[in-house]
Structure 1
Amino acid sequence: MDRTDLQQLSKDELIEMVLRLQRPSKDSRTSSKPPSTDKKEKRVNSRPGGAKPGHEPHNRVLADFADMFRDHEPTACKRCGHAFSGDDTMVLAGAYDEIDIPAIRPHVTRHRRFSCHCPQCGTTTKATAPAVATATPFGPGIHALAIYLKSFHALSYERLSGVFMDIFGLNVSEGAIMNMFSRSRPSFQATAQAAKASLRAARVVASDETGVRIEGTNAQHWVFHCKDAVVHQPDYSRAARVVHETMGGHVPEVWISDRYSAQQSHGHRHQTCLAHLARDTAFALEHGEDDLPLRFQLWFGRVFDFARAISTFAASTVASKKRKFDKQLAGLLCAPTSCDLAQKLQAKIGRARDQLLTFCDYPGEVDVTNNTSERKLRPWVIQRKVTNGYRAMWAAQAEADVRTTIDTARLKGANPFQVIASVLA
């Protein structure tokens, strides 16, 4: 707006404009922005680190197995000096583990191929060439470690090459590491397809997405999960097409997501993430001029408390609570207010009204928030910050298949490295 436009505004319009400009930026408490974007505040009267007075100490539990035992026995009585012999009874007074990692070096098997000259016909015959002669010299253990460190700890090819040299004394180029991913890709594609099949039969599915760089352009990394599977899917698009292709025509009973339009209308019913709306409510409460956001905040607090304990209530109690919450919400949505932030909050919550209490009809099956999806996306945000993305789509898809395999297995408590090793065995 220029000076002429401003002169045409009324006094009330100018006051409203100034108030809007004075509003602080949103942060992780009052919006869906991640905590990493918040400015760190000075810690006033912060307490020092370390154990606090009265803290009960915790000692390391002894290992299940010991490779070596070193016994320490008294030689003489500390009071009279009597020398102990082998016939005296010794009682175990304490056990302590000393743990260390032995020197690590690669195990090298050198295949030697011989030839033999036939004395009868004069023909020279060579032994059959071993498979390693025409394949990679790196075994499945090195493949598993490279994939684990790259996919699970966000090491770039350059840093991973340095790890192999510094720790193992093994010269592995960045191209060799890339070939390990390419070579291992079919194995993880098979396990990822099995996870996707479980997803396409699920009753409750949740989803979310985050930005990622692929081939130098902005792209998206999607995650879909149910109680039996987790599926990661990179794509250049943030549109609903990705959901349709991933689900393969399957429509679950309930879909859980935030309010993004591309994640709507994929299930027979929908549960909107209440945490997102609660953060919008916190912003309106902090910067608004009405007590309506406070009343919404109290309503969300009661719903969260109920959701945490919903499995302990009888079906009749759950139904009664749902009717009570819905009646209270109806009163809040029609409450009069002159605050524009409160009005916007009313409108946003009103548009999602039929998606707020879906979890009450599926006790223990449907989460009230989409925080689980956000936690499964967190490694990709870290990966994006550390490595700045992927140079090729096939690399992004290969790593997504690895994470799909690992995250699905972790639902049953499996060890990530052992999962990778078993797939490559």
Structure 2
Amino acid sequence: MSESIVIAGIEIPKADWDATPASVQALVLVLSERLMHIEEQLSQNSSNSSLPPSSDTLSKAKSKSTSETPPKEKASDPKESNRKDKKQSRQNDTKSEKAKGFGFYPVEECNIHHHIPSSCVHCGEVLSGVDASPHRHQVVDIPPLQLSVEEHQLHQLTCECCGKTSRGVLPPEVPTTSYGDRLVGFVGLLSSGEHRQSHSMAQSLLQVLFNLEVSRSSINRMRTQVSEAVSDPVEEAIGYVQRQASVHSDETGFPQRNRDGQNPENRKGWLWILCVPMVMVFHVALHRSQQVSKELIGEGFKGIVHSDRYSAYNWLPVEQRQVCWAHLKRDLTKIAERSGVSKEYGEALLARQARLFRWWHRVRDGTMRREQFIDAVEHLRRGFKATLEEVSAFDVGTKEKTPLAKSVRTLREILKVESALWTFVYTPELEPTNNTAERGLRPGVIWRRTTQGSQSKKGSEFVERILTVTSSLKLQGRNSWDYLSEAIRAKRLGLPAPSLLPIPKPQEPLMPLALPQASDLVTT
């Protein structure tokens, strides 16, 4: 058999390649590199890149679900099969019960209407008596919304002694503007990351719901009022987050225009997030640099930061980092989808990653002790690192764009932070991924897509503050509209604004010890 070589994934006889002119060979190699780059770009999806799942096409989603779902095997043990059938039956029953609809509201919260039959529908006989457990049917509706308009008439009287006039003054609890606290809070809530209503959309909704006409400038002033009212609680929340033992951090693009002259260089804005249990903090900056990361997290931060491998976090010591394994899995998947040596090493590293997560799920479910997990990971870690070092030692040019060169560069970057991959193994209560921060950023990402960012620095301040408020209160199960109304009222009266920090639950009083009485003692 004649010797053959592979060019751009196609096997051809070596004699034919040697007979090709050198200029044509160079052209073929350049074009093949471009082709492989284009194919790699076209094959990107949520499993091998940072693209969101919503960007996956239907065909990619189907192939992904098909590849991830293993074929069902017939159980050899009839008892095992019977147990699985019963479990599936219970799951189906639970799903059907949930699909029946919402539960009943308490009777105390309802207007009761009794419908009692006067005669038998079968024979016509007159009926009497009371049904102790009647069939219940509830209708939930929204009553007509009515504005509450309070008019304050300030009377002006003339003094008979000096001839000067005096006019009554508004009490401190009455706003000096034309809009009350709850209306201003409602406009702020409409503009939040969950509802994302633009000025014109908020105008239209107020007109439909309340027959209230409000100008765009009035809506903008109300948003500014909301932003100023929650400024202090947001600063308090930032300090709270910086004192925690671990935080999740991430960032995404968020444009800020130059309408106010605060962005003369037209820099691209970035929306940063810090997450801890029950509190999320957002910040819009014109840089994605280490300096912004230091200011937000705090240079004196002593805890552990969950993040991706972006260089803005390189100022942190490696022992204070937990690099996200979800990002790592996507990079390894991209490497495994390449041809040749890249595919071999990518699949080997993915296999170790899958084994690691199987063990982690067992630790999280309580079926594997932490000590066993650490012992098992030690061996896996040595193999994982050895593979990274082996590939990183490959000699590739700085400008080489082959699939292998791309894989080598990626694995070299991973090797630099290899120690930060395993922090969660030795530190309880840590997660191996940064999914918490990524999920927290989604409202901001959707807001960016619908509004194309903010128009000014004050607009960015409103975005970061209202996202901090609504996201944190949602985690705590608190009402955002009530909170914003209270914050606006406190700002107007010069009182401290309500805190965004988690409200500690009152502890139940300890039961006193039942000491024996003298009459209960038995002497022998």
Point out the structure with max Rg over C-alpha. 2
Aligned counterpart in structure 2 of residue 263 of structure 1, from 298, 309, 313: 313
* Partner-residue secondary structure (3-state), 1:98: coil
Unpaired segments of 5 or more residues in structure 2? Answer: 1-21, 64-91, 259-265, 395-402, 490-524
The 3 A distance-change label for structure 1 pair 105 and 206 is same
Give a deviation string over 1:58-85, Cα, whole Å, max 9, x none.
Answer: 2221123534111111112334433134
In structure 1, what is the equivalent of residue 281 of structure 2?
Answer: 231
Q: CA deviation at 1:247?
A: 3.0
In structure 1, what is the equivalent of residue 455 of structure 2?
Answer: 391
In the alignment, structure 1 residue 145 sits paired with structure 2 residue 209 = no
Alpha-carbon distance between aligned partners in 2 of 1:43 and 1:178, rounded to the nearest angstrom: 42
Aligned counterpart in structure 2 of residue 30 of structure 1, from 30, 48, 51: 48
In structure 2, what is the equivalent of residue 73 of structure 1?
Answer: 116
Alpha-carbon distance between aligned partners in 2 of 1:299 and 1:339, rounded to the nearest angstrom: 20
TM-score under structure 1 length normalisation: 0.86
* Partner-residue secondary structure (3-state), 2:126: coil
Q: CA deviation at 1:297?
A: 1.4
In the alignment, structure 1 residue 380 sits paired with structure 2 residue 422 = no
Give a deviation string over 1:141-176, Cα, whole Å, max 9, x none.
Answer: 111111111013111112111111122111111111
Alpha-carbon distance between aligned partners in 2 of 1:391 and 1:11, rounded to the nearest angstrom: 48
Deviation larger for 34-43 or 88-97: 34-43
Deviation larger for 307-316 or 165-174: 307-316
Give a deviation string over 1:284-340, Cα, whole Å, max 9, x none.
Answer: 222322322111111111222233333423232132122122123134325568944
Aligned counterpart in structure 2 of residue 359 of structure 1, from 415, 424, 430: 424
Unpaired segments of 5 or more residues in structure 1? Answer: 1-5, 46-52
Alpha-carbon distance between aligned partners in 1 of 2:109 and 2:278, rounded to the nearest angstrom: 36
Q: CA deviation at 1:92?
A: 2.4
Given that residues 195 and 408 in structure 1 are in contact (C-alpha distance below 8 angstroms), is that contact kept between their aligned partners in structure 2? no
**Percent of aligned positions that are identical:** 22
In structure 2, what is the equivalent of residue 50 of structure 1?
Answer: none
In structure 2, what is the equivalent of residue 178 of structure 1?
Answer: 220
* Partner-residue secondary structure (3-state), 2:465: helix
Alpha-carbon distance between aligned partners in 1 of 2:25 and 2:416, rounded to the nearest angstrom: 32
In the alignment, structure 1 residue 84 sits paired with structure 2 residue 127 = yes
In structure 2, what is the equivalent of residue 282 of structure 1?
Answer: 333
In structure 1, what is the equivalent of residue 500 of structure 2?
Answer: none
In structure 2, what is the equivalent of residue 406 of structure 1?
Answer: 470
In structure 2, what is the equivalent of residue 194 of structure 1?
Answer: 236
Given that residues 225 and 488 in structure 2 are in contact (C-alpha distance below 8 angstroms), is that contact kept between their aligned partners in structure 1? no
* Partner-residue secondary structure (3-state), 2:348: helix
Alpha-carbon distance between aligned partners in 2 of 1:415 and 1:134, rounded to the nearest angstrom: 22
Give a deviation string over 1:390-416, Cα, whole Å, max 9, x none.
Answer: 111122112312221232233323233
Letter in 2 for 1:410: K
Q: CA deviation at 1:367?
A: 1.5
Alpha-carbon distance between aligned partners in 1 of 2:170 and 2:61, rounded to the nearest angstrom: 67
The 3 A distance-change label for structure 1 pair 166 and 422 is same
Give a deviation string over 1:209-245, Cα, whole Å, max 9, x none.
Answer: 1111112542111111223532111111111111211
Aligned counterpart in structure 2 of residue 208 of structure 1, from 240, 250, 254: 250
Give a deviation string over 1:336-366, Cα, whole Å, max 9, x none.
Answer: 6894454345324322311111110112x22
In structure 2, what is the equivalent of residue 254 of structure 1?
Answer: 304
Letter in 2 for 1:200: Q
Letter in 2 for 1:107: S
Alpha-carbon distance between aligned partners in 1 of 2:417 and 2:165, rounded to the nearest angstrom: 81
Letter in 2 for 1:271: Q
Given that residues 253 and 271 in structure 2 are in contact (C-alpha distance below 8 angstroms), is that contact kept between their aligned partners in structure 1? yes
Aligned counterpart in structure 2 of residue 106 of structure 1, from 147, 156, 160: 147
In structure 2, what is the equivalent of residue 3 of structure 1?
Answer: none
In structure 1, what is the equivalent of residue 137 of structure 2?
Answer: 96
* Partner-residue secondary structure (3-state), 1:252: coil
Given that residues 227 and 461 in structure 2 are in contact (C-alpha distance below 8 angstroms), is that contact kept between their aligned partners in structure 1? no
Given that residues 28 and 38 in structure 1 are in contact (C-alpha distance below 8 angstroms), is that contact kept between their aligned partners in structure 2? yes
In structure 2, what is the equivalent of residue 48 of structure 1?
Answer: none
Alpha-carbon distance between aligned partners in 1 of 2:361 and 2:483, rounded to the nearest angstrom: 32
The 3 A distance-change label for structure 1 pair 392 and 58 is same
In structure 1, what is the equivalent of residue 262 of structure 2?
Answer: none
* Partner-residue secondary structure (3-state), 1:230: strand
* Partner-residue secondary structure (3-state), 1:24: helix
Alpha-carbon distance between aligned partners in 2 of 1:235 and 1:206, rounded to the nearest angstrom: 18
* Partner-residue secondary structure (3-state), 1:136: coil
Deviation larger for 411-420 or 201-210: 411-420
Letter in 2 for 1:325: L
Alpha-carbon distance between aligned partners in 2 of 1:43 and 1:335, rounded to the nearest angstrom: 34
Deviation larger for 107-116 or 152-161: 107-116
Alpha-carbon distance between aligned partners in 2 of 1:416 and 1:333, rounded to the nearest angstrom: 48
Alpha-carbon distance between aligned partners in 2 of 1:307 and 1:207, rounded to the nearest angstrom: 22
RMSD: 3.0
The 3 A distance-change label for structure 1 pair 13 and 409 is same
Deviation larger for 18-27 or 352-361: 18-27
TM-score under structure 2 length normalisation: 0.71
The 3 A distance-change label for structure 1 pair 18 and 211 is closer
Aligned counterpart in structure 2 of residue 346 of structure 1, from 411, 415, 419: 411
Alpha-carbon distance between aligned partners in 1 of 2:244 and 2:474, rounded to the nearest angstrom: 18
Letter in 2 for 1:328: G
Letter in 1 for 2:239: A
Alpha-carbon distance between aligned partners in 2 of 1:421 and 1:134, rounded to the nearest angstrom: 12
